[in-house]
Chains A and B, each alone.
Chain A
Amino acid sequence: GENVEQHPSTLSVQEGDSAVIKCTYSDSASNYFPWYKQELGKRPQLIIDIRSNVGEKKDQRIAVTLNKTAKHFSLHITETQPEDSAVYFCAAGRTGANNLFFGTGTRLTVIP
């Protein structure tokens, strides 16, 4: 089955700096890679996703890159703000399949 590894487990950055979270996956058949943000005590919410037919996708301060050959993908947050503080989860799966395989999460703290 699919195995997703996520690093680092914790990350602290100064406000305004960039944050990068990296994930690797094992199943070459995976073609859908979403990222979820979970604030303390709240539900995970999809913030961005990428499919294997593209290498990069941006949405304002958030970008995700995918290297299908190396089986890794990354989340980049620029100009971080205190409200970016949360746990971020990467996941891998197949388009339309609801059995996503999640990484173990990265706790991001943005220091004002």
Chain B
Amino acid sequence: KAGVTQTPRYLIKTRGQQVTLSCSPISGHRSVSWYQQTPGQGLQFLFEYFSETQRNKGNFPGRFSGRQFSNSRSEMNVSTLELGDSALYLCASSPGSRGPNEKLFFGSGTQLSVL
């Protein structure tokens, strides 16, 4: 099976712009979660989508939004970019059934730099 695919791998934007990141989960996985990784902060949960619905949300401002399509692919959008949004954005997929053996599989991430 192909792994979790994120595009693009790198992005450079300027303050005030908006950006859209894409994530294709492992085939058959219906849940996609997004995390922000910054040095010294670890990974922080943004939101999770399952069957095109946001199922869980972290503590990020409304500038961060997402959506999921019928094929389970997900996009994350950040509007009005700030310097502090520079980070590695990781998505993770799982089957979504919330069973006891469910694990998260991460993509390689999109490195966003805001200048």
Interface of A toward B, CB cutoff 8 Å: 1, 6, 34, 36, 42-46, 49, 51, 89, 91, 95-105
Contacts and interface: CB of A to CB of B under 8 A. Distances in A.
B90 A89 contact: no
Given A44-B90, A49-B103, A99 B41 contact: no
Interface of B: 4, 31, 33, 35, 40-45, 48, 55-56, 58-59, 90, 92, 94, 97-100, 102-109
Contact of A96 (B97, B105, B106): B97
B56 A97 contact: yes
A89 B102 CA distance: 18
Q: Is the interface of A mostly helix, strand, loop or mixed?
A: loop
Contacts of A36: 106
21 contacts: A43-B106, A43-B107, A44-B43, A44-B106, A45-B106, A46-B105, A95-B100, A95-B102, A96-B97, A96-B98, A96-B100, A98-B31, A98-B33, A98-B56, A98-B92, A99-B45, A99-B48, A100-B43, A102-B35, A102-B43, A103-B42
Contacts of B40: 104
